[in-house]
Amino acid sequence: MRRLALTAVVLSIASCKRSAPNPSALVTDHAAPLVSIVQVKDPAASAQLVKGFYPVEAGAWRWTMKQFEVVLKPPPGAAENGAKLNLKLAVPEAIISKVGPVTLGANINGLALPPETYSKSGDYEYTRDVPAAALKGDAVAVQFSSDKGIGPTSDDARELSVIAVSVGLEPK
Amino acid sequence: MKRTAYYLCAPVVCLALFWKGLFTWFRLDDFAFLGLASTVHDFPSLGHALFHPVAQGTVRVISDRLFFLSLYTMFGVRAGPFHVVIWVLWFIALALITEIGTRITGSRAAGLLAALLCTVSKVMVAPLAWVAISEVIFCAVFALAALYSRIRWLESGRRGWQAAEWIFYILGFGAQESMVMYPAVAVVYTMAVTRKNVLAKGRRGVFALFIPAAIFTAIHAFLIPRLPSEIYRVAIDTRLPDTLSMYLRMAVGPEHYASRKILLPVLASFVIWRLWRRDWAALFCGAWFLLWLAPVLPLPNHISEYYLATPLIGLAWLGGWGLVVAWRAGWTARTAAAVLVTLYLANAVPAIGEETAWYLNGSSRMRLLFRGMQEAARRYPGTAVIFKGVDNDLFQTGFQDNPYRLAGVSKAFLAPGSENGIVAREDLGGVKRFTISTEDALRLIESAQARVLEITAGPPHDVTESFETVMRAEFLAKHREFVDVGQPLYVSRVGPSWHKIENGYRWMPKSATVQLAGPSSASERLYVSGYAPANVVASGPLTLRFHAAGQDIGSFAVSRPDRKFECDFAIPAKLVGEYAIEISIEAARTFRPRGDDRELGIIFGTFGVH
């Protein structure tokens, strides 16, 4: 009798049921077409934010790490004429006051673009011409790199550098 | 009716303050304990799941093992039943605190106030909101039940109560290792509160309680191996007073709160006053705090608020007792006591609200993610999952405790690059075991061995398709020095004249081009591989001429039929550092196979500069 009870216990543990199907627990996003200009607040475009971005704040912008990366669709004609890379960003006083001027550069499909230094806090646009040779294909990776940031600290595990609002490739 | 209200008072207050804790989901160690069930297949494995020591040598058969095994078997990953059991146990503990407090102080009001003070404590947030920490509640219940049985035995002399004390005491070893302190607690109670001589005939049996404690301690110390861990390193040194001081301050109020500075001196003064009046019951309350805390004092690197759950009861008895004494001492003392209680509540109540909300929010995110993982595992059995958008907060909710295995997911990774900013415990393997390169991620996705789940405010999204596109772009940006013309991934780098991909290779017609990065130094060369079907060389060797950025870099004659061929060429120094160069290939002749109107030159595979 005791053996029977023990067997029942073991079998009931060993036969733990998997939970029932729950289709609403996972939303399938069919690949939305890539866009040339990404508003970082736009959830639909978040797939193009590859790395280095924190969640949206105030429904408008995202903190970035020192290295951050997006994938963009080259605009029409870019493979022949090139395009203009444009990053709308803000350099917060909290960063400048702690680490001084921040230099931001970009690399598009492996092509390094000239950096720019921001000595004061405020809103900026980092704009650079991109040659046609770097814009072949349906998608290009753009890696941004800033030389300074703050954290992680004991209060905030994040590494914070600049605030990104939008990034895009505009036709020339 | 009055009696019911008396005993319901503390549980109702507890529910009102901690209700969010009832709705929290699993986190951290919970997943390891929930995963125990999957290790049970037969009797030996059941024995292993119940009795095998885990990392720090703990074998909590009841609170960790049986509790999780049985409830998971019955309810799966529903946290509600786990919380119900824990809360019922805590309500039992509150009733016992009331009863024992009444006997210590001689006042029913003091007993009730002790239970109220105990449950209006931030210390209780973790034990009531985090299932894996319930061991402290199991321990408190067994300790209180054993002591209550002792009290009833001392009062009535009935053997049944003595047996009950032993049963609860022995069961307590299955809850927490601190149970080894119970015999000392029982001795102090007998001497200080009942003022009975423990050496008297008939009461010496209390010393027998030390035998199981000694055996348990010896087994723990000498027979159970422990993994080396800085966090759990035992240090009996000059840090002990500091650790004690920290626990004392934590017990009377949340950090940075004013109540800490006032309540401790008041409680200390009360104890000294009672002892000066030779009221040794105050000594028992202090001893209860110190004895139950003693096992964790030598862990200066693992100071945790929840360790105070059982010791706190001693201070609560003192607090309840002090309030009753103050009430009886006149309006000045009453006013002072009211101010102290108000100060304590003003600090504790908001802190409890904030922290229970923190547990609820954090575990809710993990619940959404877990449900998504389960669904992904159901739809795509055997696949790995790559998580996009995991922040440090979510990671800290239990990523390192393998929740994905419980959900049926074979392997979990963080999206390449998202491991930056994650702080992981190195003794649990660090973040490295969750990292994956862009190349490997792409390979798994392309071979349908992984799905990509993006974390959102709601259920996770399966973003595999768009992630694959993005990963391809990133991969190409990183690998501009290489083209495999037989792979669709590189289509943007091959010229328009190439024929379509066939089984991982491509035919070129008379001429074709590919785009590659220029060499990074003059020593780098162009390496080419291809395949020569017999009909290509049937009429003799085929000469291929190569140009880089329009400049002739050499030729190669393919002569061996049905073989792979490889060749390499120096690249002009002036092309060093060029972002992109066009490599053009020209075949000396072409042919048209029967039934195929294409003009065919030769088959190519890869082009690389290195």
pLDDT > 70? residue B522: yes
Residue B459 has its nearest CB partner, among A25, A32, A50, at: A25
% of chain B surpassing 90 pLDDT: 56
Average pLDDT over residues B34-50: 85
Contact A51 B43 (CB under 8 A): no
pLDDT > 90? residue B46: no
Instruction: Give the whole-angstrom CA distance, residue B90 versus residue B18.
Output: 12
Contact A137 B476 (CB under 8 A): yes
Instruction: Give the whole-angstrom CA distance, residue B321 versus residue B482.
Output: 80
Look at residues B499, B602, B606 and name the one whose alpha carbon lies nearest to residue B543.
B602
| Residue A20 counted as domain residue | no
User: Does residue A21 sit at the B interface (CB-CB below 8 Å)?
Assistant: yes
Instruction: Give the whole-angstrom CA distance, residue A135 versus residue A142.
Output: 11
What are the Cα distances from residue B435, in Å, to A145, B46, B243, B438, B496?
Answer: 21, 33, 37, 10, 38
**Every domain of chain B and the residues it spans:** 2-359, 380-474, 479-609
Phi-psi region of B188 (alpha: psi -120 to 50; beta: other; left: phi over 0): alpha
What ranges make up the beta strands (E) of B257-410?
A: 384-388
| Residue A13 counted as domain residue | no
DSSP characters over B578-602: -S-EEEEEEES--B--TT----B-E
Report the number of distinct structural domains present in chain A: 1
Residue A69 has its nearest CB partner, among B46, B417, B465, at: B417
pLDDT > 50? residue A14: no
Instruction: Give the whole-angstrom CA distance, residue B463 versus residue A32.
Output: 9
Average pLDDT over residues B418-447: 84
* pLDDT at site B601: 95
Contact B579 A29 (CB under 8 A): no
Contact A51 B375 (CB under 8 A): no
* pLDDT at site A17: 47
Instruction: Give the whole-angstrom CA distance, residue B385 versus residue B258.
Output: 48
pLDDT band at A4 (very low <50, low <70, confident <90, very high): low
pLDDT > 60? residue B506: yes
**What is the domain-level CATH number for residue A162?**
2.60.120.260
| Residue A24 counted as domain residue | no
Place of tokens 């995963």: B35
Look at residues B446, B374, B442 and name the one whose alpha carbon lies nearest to residue B409.
B374
Look at residues B604, B608, B562 and name the one whose alpha carbon lies nearest to residue B585.
B604
Largest alpha-carbon pair distance within chain A?
Answer: 85
pLDDT > 90? residue B272: yes
* pLDDT at site B404: 87
Contact B474 A17 (CB under 8 A): no
Token duo for residue B284:
């028992």
| Residue A137 counted as domain residue | yes
Residues of chain A positioned with their CB less than 8 A from the CB of B423: 152, 157
| Residue A3 counted as domain residue | no
Count of C-beta atoms within a 10 Å radius of residue B332: 9
Q: Residue A21 burial by CB count (10 A; 0-12/13-18/19+): exposed, middle or buried?
A: exposed
- Across chain B, mean pLDDT equals 89
Average pLDDT over residues B413-430: 80
What are the Cα distances from residue B178, in Å, to B35, B295, B390?
Answer: 25, 6, 37
pLDDT > 60? residue A15: no
pLDDT > 70? residue B467: yes
Look at residues B267, B104, B93 and name the one whose alpha carbon lies nearest to residue B190.
B104
pLDDT > 60? residue B90: yes
Instruction: Give the whole-angstrom CA distance, residue B302 versus residue B256.
Output: 20
Residues of chain B positioned with their CB less than 8 A from the CB of A47: 454, 463, 466-467, 470
* pLDDT at site B256: 66
Classify domain B479-609 at the CATH superfamily level: Galactose-binding domain-like (2.60.120.260)
Q: Residue A71's Cα: distance from chain center in Å?
A: 9
Which residue of chain B has the CA closest to A159? Answer: B421
Largest alpha-carbon pair distance within chain B?
Answer: 119
What ranges make up the beta strands (E) of B143-266?
A: none
pLDDT > 70? residue A6: no
User: Does residue A132 sit at the B interface (CB-CB below 8 Å)?
Assistant: no
Q: Tell me: the pLDDT tens digits for A17-54? A: 445 677 778 887 776 788 999 999 988 778 888 888 98
Rg (CA), chain B: 36
Instruction: Give the whole-angstrom CA distance, residue B123 versus residue B306.
Output: 6
What value of ipTM does the predicted structure carry? 0.75
pLDDT band at A16 (very low <50, low <70, confident <90, very high): very low
Contact B417 A52 (CB under 8 A): yes
Q: Which residue did the predictor score with more confidence, B260 or B576? A: B576
Q: Residue B489's Cα: distance from chain center in Å?
A: 38
pLDDT > 70? residue B355: yes
Residue A65 has its nearest CB partner, among B420, B468, B478, at: B420
Residues of chain B positioned with their CB less than 8 A from the CB of A34: 466, 469-470
**Cis amide bond preceding A115, omega within 30:** no
Contact A9 B46 (CB under 8 A): yes
Host H or E run for residue B7: helix B2-22
pLDDT > 90? residue B472: no
pLDDT band at B213 (very low <50, low <70, confident <90, very high): very high
Helix (H, G, I), strand (E, B) or coil at B391: coil
Residue-number span of the structural domain to which A115 is assigned: 37-171
CA count, 13 A, side-chain hemisphere, B69:
26
Residues of chain A positioned with their CB less than 8 A from the CB of B467: 47
Look at residues B484, B486, B485, B511 and name the one whose alpha carbon lies nearest to residue B584.
B511
Average pLDDT over residues B304-315: 93
pLDDT > 50? residue A110: yes
pLDDT > 50? residue B400: yes
pLDDT > 60? residue A9: no
pLDDT > 50? residue B86: yes
Q: Tell me: the pLDDT tens digits for A115-169? A: 999 999 999 999 999 999 889 888 899 999 999 999 877 777 788 999 999 999 9
